[in-house]
Amino acid sequence: MVQSEVALETYYSYWAGPMPAAEITWMVVILIISAFALWQARTFARKFM
């Protein structure tokens, strides 16, 4: 299913916060925190396993 014009308009209207390029940076933030979590898991495994 391709997104309808209304769905796309509503989707992009959500990203109206002060964060620059909010429609992209939210994904970058999730990626950074997730990468940190994974790094933390590897470090923890090295220390205690």
Q: How far from the centroid of its chain's Cα atoms is residue 24's Cα?
A: 8
> Least distance in Å: CB of 34 to another protein?
5
Nearest approach, Cβ of 6 to another protein (angstroms)?
8
| Residues within window 1-49 making contact with another protein, judged by CB under 8 A | 1-4, 6-8, 10-11, 14-19, 22, 25-27, 29-31, 33-34, 36-38, 40-42, 44-45, 47-48
Q: Which residue has the tokens 């979590």?
A: 37
Contacts for 15 with CB less than 8 Å, ≥ 6 apart:
22, 23, 26
Least distance to another protein from the beta carbon of 24, Å? 10
